[in-house]
Structure 1
């Protein structure tokens, strides 16, 4: 299929907040939130100020990027590792006792591959309590990682991961 990206409309995608709020978030994100010197204990409060629902005892390390805080719901006792990227064009829900490790990507956005103008095909992500997205793992749009499920280091979850299931890449070492 030939792509005609000039015709892309972004139909059906609502950013959820006015442009001024989006701009304010991007300024705070890039000038303060991701920096090594910004206190870890303040990151949940900043996300809450922009509409995120954040539980207690949430640890968010430096260089964590959150696209839209108002589309983020995090339970209690969650760890988000250095360099993780929560690309939440749609809702990301993270249950309690979840670990999202270093450089992991949670990506709710995609495109319709059969659309000549490559329109959006976004979907929410849900990480059930006790799940773990390991270092450099990727969870794609529309995926639920079940209770105590694991997306192993550098693995890609493009379908739901059942409770207690483990997704890895390649053959065992």
Structure 2
């Protein structure tokens, strides 16, 4: 049986003090996510809060990033509208990656086997050239291999080797060559 009042933040480091956290939330919820904010301003804001962002990165509106200082994005990567980078732990996204609309990259979870429902968080790596398709979810501790595809609407719970397609039916097969 769960004992949710026993839950604590033990072992979880947000990485910055409460003032910086509050300032980021204010900026994220007013300027960063707004449709009228240019993509270049979004990358500038992330960098100002400690994210490591490469050149030519495109971040669309309604993107949510929990903690910018726990985010690294390589060159020429796209983050689509409404994507959620829930990074209680670091997220490293390589170069030439596409994270499509409303995809979720989630480094946090809970240990369902423990009564206090303690955190079971782990970093995520998305290697160069990968594609996280629309409404796909990548869960804590996973590495998405280079040039791999996480198909639309799927949930990825374990590492995906390079050049592999994780399909809706849960199967894995080689990524087809481009035409």
1:160 and 2:159 matched: yes
Instruction: Call closer, same or farther: CA 1:171–1:112 in 2, change over 3 Å.
Output: closer
Q: How does 1:19-98 map to 2 (within 5 A)?
A: 19-98=18-97
Q: Could you tell me which runs of 5 or more consecutive residues in structure 1 were left unpaired when the two chains were aligned.
A: none
**Displacement of 1:40:** 1.4
Match of 1:126 in 2: 125
Q: Which residue of 2 aligns with 1:109?
A: 108
Paired residues, number: 171
Cα distance, 1:171 vs structure 2: 8.2
1:82-124 alpha-carbon deviations (Å, 9 max, x no partner): 0000000000000000000000000000011111010000000
Cα gap change, 1:171 to 1:97, in 2 (>3 Å): closer
CA RMSD of aligned residues (A): 1.1
Q: TM-score by structure 1 length?
A: 0.97
Q: For 1:120 and 1:152, how far apart are their aligned partners in 2?
A: 27
Q: Residues of 1 paired with 2:147 and 2:113: CA distance?
A: 35
Taking the aligned partners of 1:23 and 1:14, their CA distance within structure 2 comes to 15
CA distance in 1, matches of 2:139, 2:25: 23
In 2 relative to 1, CA 7–29 (structure 1 residues): closer, same or farther, beyond 3 Å? same
C-alpha distance after superposition, 1:24-73 (max 9, x if no partner): 00000001100101111211110000000000000000000000000000
Q: Give 1:15 deviation, angstroms.
A: 0.3
- Cα distance in 2 between the residues matched to 1:98 and 1:89: 21
Q: For residues 82 and 98 of structure 2, what CA distance do their matches in structure 1 show? A: 13
